[in-house]
Structure 1
Amino acid sequence: MLPDISRTLGGREALPALLDDIESGLSARGVPAAAIAAVSVALDEVVTNAFGHGGATTVEVAARVADGSVTVEVGDDGPAFDPTCAPEPDTGAELEHRHVGGLGIHMVMKLMDGVAYERRPGRNHLRLSKAVGL
């Protein structure tokens, strides 16, 4: 199935326009506002991490609505990193005793109904899914 929205980003500066396109595209397809917000926040975090922490030079994003869910595929050319294996942060610890980092990935895992990672030749591929009941 072809994606509803597909973009290749060469840097973080293209992210706001992509998020606008995702939000308007999902809204036009009848996706509830709460699901659009969750997908947007998760996608923002994943793409920002790919460029900022992962050192990616390009990030490809494809989104589609089918079978009652939104699926977003994110591919990047950064070093291998599987966010699904990241340790869960201790959100109950006192601030001064918390390890720095990991909250964004934790948030993505909590916002999405499914997160899957694959390393394919030279690229990270992350699939995010959110049930929307359409």
Structure 2
Amino acid sequence: MKLNCVFPAHFDQQIQNAIAFLKPYTKRAYLVGGSVRDLCLDEPLHDLDIEVYDITPENFDSLMQRVGAVGVGKSFFVYKLGNIDFSLPRVEHKRGVGHTAFEVAICQDEKEASRRRDFSVNAMMLNIFSGQLLDFWGGKEGDCA
């Protein structure tokens, strides 16, 4: 399914820049989380989260440094550039008690990576290159209908 969305001007330019610097590395980069929900509900956008597939952590780090992104969650592969958080897709496995007792691993499967999101609507993913919406858990039908 495709989602036709119009970004506010300041986000549109940032998305176009992201497409330009990610294009040599992947065709699988997705808006994820609350920004997709807000687009579906025609709500104002506050920030964007983009999950980047098909790139190694080393190449991702190098690319993020080259474009001036700041690491904000290096153990979770998260960088901030403008109003966008870029991250690698990951899965988390509990290995003890408490909120820090888990193991993080890179995941190249969109459905598997989306499992860690808190609600089905936040698990939707919008491909920034094609506009294709991935909705493995029924978020659009449930919360965005």
- TM (norm. structure 2) is 0.35
- TM (norm. structure 1) is 0.38
Structure ranking higher in helix proportion:
1
